[in-house]
Amino acid sequence: MCFSATASFVAGGALSAAGVLTATKAKTKKELPFAMVPLLFGIQQLAEGFVWVSLSSHAATLNLVATYIFSLFAFVVWPIYVPFAVGLLETVQWRKKAIYVFQAAGLAVGVYLLYSHTLSLVTSEIVSKHVVYNNSHFYGLTVMLLYFGATIVSCLFSSKRIINVFGVLAFLFALIAYWFYTSAFVSVWCFFAAVLSLIVYWYFRSDSAGSLPGRNGA
């Protein structure tokens, strides 16, 4: 989380546990990537816990490793992974094709942001009790539009209502994070999104999951 090492480790542990439980509820291979979302967010939050520890203990190697793990999740994994996982669940062809457009956008921005990690060093620092991640290539307008298209707008094209809800809430929390925590936007929004990922567990407990091909009920 963006406020302390303890909060990050607690959030990461809880999400990881919920993610393992959710993954066991996946009944088809197509469901598994979506079911793993809370687990992946849990790993990311645990990484940020180690960012906090490294900054407070001045452990340079730990800071570099933890910063890059968190940053690669935030900037590379999610724009590629979200439309991929959502698209696998989609059964309406025109919606699937639309999601694939955002998949292409996510792949493009994810590859660029992966490359950007090699162009200049990604650093982390504590500013006003929040972790701030710095890299001069992350925040261009085109990059951010493609990023939010892949991670948020793709969810709005899903025929699954709970996934729509996730997309809407992720957008609202992005606005809140930017408005109140501009410099620490990445850390704060990733925490909000991590908490929202518990909706995935709700999805697998709901009738919407039960209606998927290959499922026998919620």
Residue 54 counted as domain residue: yes
User: Mean pLDDT across the chain, nearest whole number?
Assistant: 84
Asked whether the beta carbons of 84 and 145 are under 8 A apart, the reply is: no
- Which band of pLDDT confidence, cut at 50, 70 and 90, is reported for residue 217? very low
Domain extent at residue 38: 5-210
Residue 191 counted as domain residue: yes
Residue 155 counted as domain residue: yes
- Residue count of the chain: 218
Chain centre distance of CA 28: 22
Residue 215 counted as domain residue: no
Instruction: Write down the pLDDT at residue 58.
Output: 86
pLDDT digits (tens, 9 = 90+) for 131-155: 888 877 777 788 889 999 999 999 9
Instruction: Write down the pLDDT at residue 63.
Output: 93
Q: Which residues contact 68 (CB under 8 A, 6 or more apart)?
A: 117, 122
> For the whole model, what pTM was predicted?
0.86
Instruction: Write down the pLDDT at residue 92.
Output: 95
Alpha-carbon distance values, 43 to 4, 9, 143 (Å): 16, 10, 24
Given a cut of 90, whether residue 32 has pLDDT beyond it is: yes
Domain count along the chain: 1
